Structure formats: structure tokens, C-alpha cells
């Protein structure tokens, strides 16, 4: 049952493919297209609604002003030069104001202008042009207003109208201006907008192509190089195309990753070489001494004992190598969490020193100690034991001919106790100081070391101390020796 559900789940996941993300090219093009569409929409909206309305408002305003002025002139006496020719005068006013002017009788007959061939100087004729439809509309509009004039939009024209009582009869002033011009302009503008829209679209398309090519080319290049890197080619160089700081950052980060990878790769190769060498020596010894016991010393207890001890020692060496490697990978992967406690660092340091007893009594090494009493600290006791053991072990390994190792633990006033271990050996070259803490690093010089090392010691020290957030470091001078130190926080008992 359970299995069935599991396979179903797996099947589901398998077929639910993630959709492929869109390309930069498409995203850019889509953004530009949407943007241009928006601009065109806003533009045509303002044009067709707001602009049109403005035109109409302005037109109404203009005809009001003109209408008022023309009406005032018509109410006064006509100038002499027209010699009583009202039609001529009206026509003249109409032409000079760019409008049409009609004076209409109550029955819809146009009283003025009324001359032949629209000539202002021609005599008036008795034919009356009929504008009763327009007049009806004007009358209706006049009813609805309090003013003595009215402005409205008639059929395709703006109209100014008012009552002009001439000769005690009801006559009307009808001034109009065609809306044609506004509509023509409006249509012309709409056509222009269409062209602008097309141009913007084409421009957006061209711009997005150019821009995306410019943006994606270096990305494609970097992707290609990253693939090469994945295949183990460390000779490539990512360079930051200067057009954007992000690209420069990306190239910098990738170069850093490449350097780290190549360093790790190199060190891993070295480790394999070192470890196989370190494994091979004890294994050869174990094999040789086992054969010796089998063939020679099996029956001679004294020799057998000695040979068996060699086997045990070599097996121990192998075990410690394997342990170191396991330790490091465990600490690194976080499987081994810190078990913090407050403990007596002074007596703990003495315990660690005691483990080197054999070097002092049998091999002529000597410790020069300057250790304060009863310094308590808070840390993972076992791991700090590894740190002290590795640092002191290294000092024994690398100290000079005098075989002296200086160990001190001193509390300072600022709540810190500094542990330091100094040797009198060859010291560490400046350029090596930063790499000795690296995993797998081991000095290339073949050094006969009294304490067995795996090349992982300082890496374990670094990992443990970084987890604790303790300050630590090394000061070294070539030819004079090295001093490794760790600052522990002092705690109350
Ligand atoms: P190992 O000592 O097993 O080689 P470590 O990780 O403890 O590995 O040290 C790494 C390297 O750092 C050593 O190979 C050595 O070159 C250098 N080193 C460590 N301690 C000292 C020291 N006290 N003096 C000089 N060199 C040292």
C-alpha cells in the first residue's frame, strides 16, 4: 500500500514538468511592447477625449466672446460707409471674425445678409433664405437660460444666439462657426497617433533586440565557461563585461569559485597522494611484520612481542589517520555539534601535555611552561583538547635542534586567556602562512616528524575554533620559529 502511494508520488513528480522560464529577449520585448502600448493608449486617450473636449470648450468660449462683441456692434448704428446696406455690414463683420452671421425674423426668414452673389456692395434682394429649423433650435435653447443670449453646439457647428429686437419686431441674431475644422484636426491627429504607435512598436522591437543581445551575450559566454569549469577545466577566465556592475560582480564571484575549486582540486590530488603514501607505509610494515611473525618469530616470545608491537603501532597510525579524516568531515558537515561546558583549562592543558610525556622522557624534548593557575573557560572540552594536542604536536614536529617548546596560558585583564605554543624551528614562509590552515595542505618539504601528522591537523584546529568564534592565529619568522595562539574567554568557576 505504502509502496503504491510512493510510486504514484514519484510518477506525479516526474510528469509535472516545470515550465521553462522565459528568455531575457522575450521579457525585454514584452516589457517594451507593454510600455509602448501604454504610452500610446494614454496618448490617444488624452487626445480623443481630453483634447477634443478642450477644443470644444475653447470653441464655445471663442464664439461667446465674438458673439458678445458682434452683438454690441450690431446694436449700435451701422457705420456710414455701408450707406445703410445692412447686409454688406453683416457680411463684413462675419468675414472679419471668421464666423457666419444671420439676422433672422421670427418666422425663420433671414433678413440679413441678403444680397446678390454674397457681395457686400451689391444691393439687397427681396428673396428670403429660410432658417426656421435653426431658429426653432435656437428658441428652444433660449428658453432654458437666464441670460439674454445662448451658446450651444448645433448640427456640426457652434452657435451663439440672442434676441435682437429691430423695428419692434422679434428678430434673432444667429452666429455660427463650423465644427469641421476641429473634426479634421482630430482625425488628422488620430492618424498621426497610429503612425506614432506603429513607430513605437517597431522601435521597441528593435531596441529590445539590440538590448537583449547586448545583455545576454556575456551571460551566454559565462554560461559556456561555467560548463567548461564543471568539466574540470580550470584554465578559463571569467571577465566582467564593464557595462554593469552586477556582471563584474558575477565574474569576480565565478573567478573566486574557480580559484577555490582549482585549489581544492589540487589539494585533493595532493591528499590522495599523501594519504596513499601514509596508508602504504604502515600497511607495508604490518604485512612485513606479520610475515615475520609467521615465518620467524612466531615461536620466539620476545621477538614476537616486539614485532606484534610494531603491527599494533602501525595499525594505530592508520586508525588515527582515518579518525582525523572522519573528524574533519564531521565537524565540517555540522554533524558534530559543540557540547559547551565550563571547565578548568589549566588542568586540562596539563593533561594534554602529559600525553607528550614520552617525547620529554625518551626523546629529549623539553617544555618551557608559563601557565596561570585555575583558568576556567567555556567551550567544547573534547574539541579544545584536539586543538591543544594538534598545536603542541606541531610545535614538537617542527621545533629546532634544541628540541624546546614554549607553552603558555596567561589571563589578561580583558577577560581573555591567551594560550600560545612557540617553537624554535624553521618557521613558516610568509606566502605559506595563509594556506597552512587549508584542508589537505602539507608543507612540501619532507620532514621527519616525531608526532605523526596527516596534514589535516591545522584544518581541524581552524574549523573547531571558527565554530567557537575564538580568536586564533600564528606569528612566524623564517629561521626563528613559529608561535600559534588561541584566545579563550575566561569564565567563573
Ligand atoms: P601536518 O603537521 O600533519 O603536516 P598540519 O595541518 O598540522 O599538518 O600542518 C599543516 C602544515 O603547516 C605543515 O605541513 C607545516 O608545513 C605547517 N606547520 C604547522 N605547524 C608548524 C610549525 N609549528 N612550524 C612550522 N610549520 C608548521
In the predicted model, what is the mean pLDDT of the chain? 83
* Ligand 1 atom nearest to CA at 421: 23
Of the pLDDT bands very low, low, confident and very high (cuts 50, 70, 90), residue 244 is confident
| pLDDT at 9 > cutoff 90 | no
Query: 176: closest CA among 208, 129, 134?
Result: 134
Q: Name, in order, each residue with C-beta under 8 angstroms of 211's C-beta and a sequence gap of 6 or more.
A: 28
Number of Cα atoms under 13 Å in the Cβ half of residue 61: 6
Grid cell locating 248: 563584474
Least confident of 391-400, 438-447, 456-465: 438-447
Give me the percent of the chain exceeding a pLDDT of 70: 85
- Contact between 208 and 28 (Cβ < 8 Å): yes
Least confident of 86-95, 274-283, 299-308, 481-490: 274-283
| Predicted local confidence at residue 206, as pLDDT | 86
| pLDDT at 13 > cutoff 70 | no
Highest mean pLDDT, choosing among 70-84, 159-173, 197-211, 389-403: 389-403
More confident residue, 232 or 52: 232
Q: Name, in order, each residue with C-beta under 8 angstroms of 462's C-beta and a sequence gap of 6 or more.
A: 437, 472
| Predicted local confidence at residue 192, as pLDDT | 82
- Tell me how far apart the alpha carbons of residues 221 and 239 are, in angstroms, rounded to a whole number: 10
| Predicted local confidence at residue 330, as pLDDT | 72
- Which pLDDT tens digit goes with each residue over 90-110? 888 899 999 999 999 898 988
| pLDDT at 450 > cutoff 90 | no
Is 278 a pocket residue for ligand 1 (Cβ < 6 Å)? no
Q: How far is CA 176 from the centre of its chain?
A: 64
- Which pLDDT tens digit goes with each residue over 138-147? 999 999 888 8
Query: 402: closest CA among 427, 366, 426?
Result: 366
- Range 221-231 average pLDDT: 89
More confident residue, 436 or 127: 436
| Predicted local confidence at residue 185, as pLDDT | 75
Is 356 a pocket residue for ligand 1 (Cβ < 6 Å)? no
Of the pLDDT bands very low, low, confident and very high (cuts 50, 70, 90), residue 122 is low
* Ligand 1 atom nearest to CA at 395: 23
Is 393 a pocket residue for ligand 1 (Cβ < 6 Å)? no
Q: Give the closest residue (by CA) to ligand 1 atom 26.
A: 428
Of the pLDDT bands very low, low, confident and very high (cuts 50, 70, 90), residue 1 is very low
Grid cell locating 46: 488624452
Which of 443, 461, 478, 485 for mutating ligand 1's site (highest number of atoms within 8 Å of CB)? 443
Is 134 a pocket residue for ligand 1 (Cβ < 6 Å)? no
| Predicted local confidence at residue 342, as pLDDT | 96
| Predicted local confidence at residue 149, as pLDDT | 92
Is 428 a pocket residue for ligand 1 (Cβ < 6 Å)? yes
- Range 230-241 average pLDDT: 82
| pLDDT at 409 > cutoff 60 | yes
Is 461 a pocket residue for ligand 1 (Cβ < 6 Å)? no
| Predicted local confidence at residue 287, as pLDDT | 92
Is 463 a pocket residue for ligand 1 (Cβ < 6 Å)? no
- Tell me how far apart the alpha carbons of residues 475 and 411 are, in angstroms, rounded to a whole number: 19
- Range 422-431 average pLDDT: 92
Q: Give the closest residue (by CA) to ligand 1 atom 20.
A: 394
Compute the distance from residue 388 Cα to the ligand 1 centre, in Å.
14
Is 405 a pocket residue for ligand 1 (Cβ < 6 Å)? no
| pLDDT at 3 > cutoff 70 | no
| pLDDT at 271 > cutoff 90 | no
3-class SS of residue 419: strand
| pLDDT at 118 > cutoff 70 | no
Compute the distance from residue 341 Cα to the ligand 1 centre, in Å.
29
- Range 54-79 average pLDDT: 85
- Range 200-228 average pLDDT: 85
Q: Give the closest residue (by CA) to ligand 1 atom 15.
A: 443
| Predicted local confidence at residue 155, as pLDDT | 83
| Predicted local confidence at residue 345, as pLDDT | 96
Which of 403, 429, 436 for mutating ligand 1's site (highest number of atoms within 8 Å of CB)? 436
Highest mean pLDDT, choosing among 86-90, 275-279, 376-380: 376-380
- Range 21-32 average pLDDT: 81
Which of 398, 429, 438 for mutating ligand 1's site (highest number of atoms within 8 Å of CB)? 398
- Tell me how far apart the alpha carbons of residues 444 and 64 are, in angstroms, rounded to a whole number: 102
Least confident of 133-137, 318-322, 415-419, 449-453: 449-453
- Contact between 111 and 126 (Cβ < 8 Å): no
Of the pLDDT bands very low, low, confident and very high (cuts 50, 70, 90), residue 124 is low
| pLDDT at 184 > cutoff 80 | no
Of the pLDDT bands very low, low, confident and very high (cuts 50, 70, 90), residue 2 is very low
Q: Give the closest residue (by CA) to ligand 1 atom 7.
A: 457
* Ligand 1 atom nearest to CA at 436: 12
Place of cell 606479520: 290
Please tell me what DSSP assigns to residue 98: T
* Ligand 1 atom nearest to CA at 425: 24
| pLDDT at 39 > cutoff 90 | no
| Predicted local confidence at residue 138, as pLDDT | 93
- Which pLDDT tens digit goes with each residue over 326-362? 777 777 666 567 889 999 999 999 999 998 988 888 8
Amino acid at each position: 500500500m505504502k509502496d503504491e502511494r510512493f510510486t504514484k508520488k514519484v510518477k506525479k513528480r516526474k510528469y509535472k514538468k516545470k515550465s521553462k522560464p522565459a528568455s531575457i529577449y522575450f521579457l525585454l520585448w514584452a516589457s517594451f511592447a507593454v510600455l509602448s502600448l501604454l504610452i500610446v493608449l494614454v496618448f490617444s486617450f488624452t487626445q480623443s477625449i481630453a483634447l477634443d473636449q478642450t477644443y470644444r470648450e475653447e470653441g464655445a468660449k471663442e464664439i461667446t466672446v465674438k458673439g458678445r462683441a458682434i452683438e454690441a456692434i450690431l446694436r449700435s448704428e451701422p457705420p456710414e460707409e455701408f450707406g445703410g446696406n445692412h447686409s454688406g455690414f453683416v457680411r463684413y463683420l462675419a468675414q472679419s471674425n471668421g464666423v457666419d452671421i444671420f439676422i433672422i425674423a421670427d418666422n425663420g426668414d433671414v433678413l440679413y445678409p441678403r444680397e446678390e452673389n454674397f457681395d457686400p456692395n451689391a444691393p439687397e434682394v427681396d428673396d428670403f433664405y429660410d432658417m426656421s429649423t435653426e431658429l426653432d433650435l435656437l428658441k428652444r435653447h433660449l428658453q432654458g437660460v437666464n441670460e439674454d443670449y445662448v451658446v450651444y453646439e448645433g448640427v456640426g457647428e457652434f452657435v451663439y444666439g440672442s434676441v435682437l429686437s429691430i423695428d419692434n419686431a422679434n428678430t434673432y441674431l444667429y452666429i455660427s462657426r463650423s465644427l469641421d475644422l476641429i473634426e479634421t484636426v482630430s482625425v488628422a491627429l488620430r492618424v498621426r497617433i497610429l503612425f506614432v504607435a506603429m513607430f513605437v512598436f517597431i522601435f521597441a522591437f528593435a531596441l529590445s533586440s539590440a538590448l537583449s543581445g547586448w545583455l545576454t551575450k556575456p551571460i551566454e559566454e559565462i554560461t559556456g565557461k561555467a560548463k567548461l569549469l564543471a568539466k574540470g577545466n580550470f584554465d578559463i577566465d571569467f571577465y566582467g563585461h564593464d557595462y554593469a556592475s552586477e556582471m563584474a560582480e558575477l565574474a569576480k564571484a565565478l573567478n573566486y569559485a574557480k580559484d577555490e575549486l582549482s585549489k581544492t582540486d589540487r589539494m585533493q590530488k595532493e591528499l590522495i597522494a599523501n594519504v596513499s603514501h601514509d596508508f602504504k607505509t604502515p600497511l607495508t610494515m604490518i604485512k612485513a611484520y606479520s610475515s615475520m611473525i609467521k615465518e620467524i618469530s612466531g615461536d620466539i616470545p620476545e621477538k614476537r612481542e616486539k614485532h606484534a608491537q610494531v603491527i599494533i603501532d602501525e595499525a594505530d597510525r592508520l586508525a588515527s589517520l582515518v579518525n582525523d579524516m572522519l573528524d574533519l568531515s564531521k565537524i565540517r558537515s555540522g554533524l558534530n555539534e559543540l557540547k559547551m561546558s565550563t571547565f578548568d583549562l589549566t588542568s586540562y592543558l596539563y593533561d594534554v601535555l602529559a600525553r607528550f610525556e614520552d617525547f620529554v622522557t625518551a626523546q629529549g624534548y623539553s617544555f618551557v611552561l608559563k601557565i596561570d593557575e585555575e583558568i576556567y573557560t567555556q567551550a567544547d572540552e573534547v574539541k579544545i583538547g584536539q586543538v591543544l594536542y594538534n598545536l603542541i604536536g606541531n610545535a614538537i614536529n617542527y621545533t629546532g635542534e634544541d628540541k624546546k617548546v614554549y607553552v603558555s596560558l596567561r589571563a589578561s585583564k580583558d577577560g581573555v586567556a591567551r594560550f600560545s605554543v612557540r617553537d624554535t624551528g624553521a618557521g613558516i614562509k610568509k606566502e605559506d602562512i595563509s594556506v597552512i590552515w587549508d584542508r589537505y595542505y602539507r608543507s612540501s618539504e619532507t620532514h621527519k616528524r616525531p608526532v605523526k601528522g596527516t596534514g589535516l591537523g591545522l584544518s581541524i584546529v581552524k574549523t573547531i575554533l571558527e565554530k567557537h568564534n575564538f580568536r586564533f592565529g600564528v606569528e612566524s619568522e623564517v629561521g626563528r620559529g613559529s608561535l600559534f595562539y588561541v584566545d579563550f574567554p575566561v569564565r567563573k568557576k
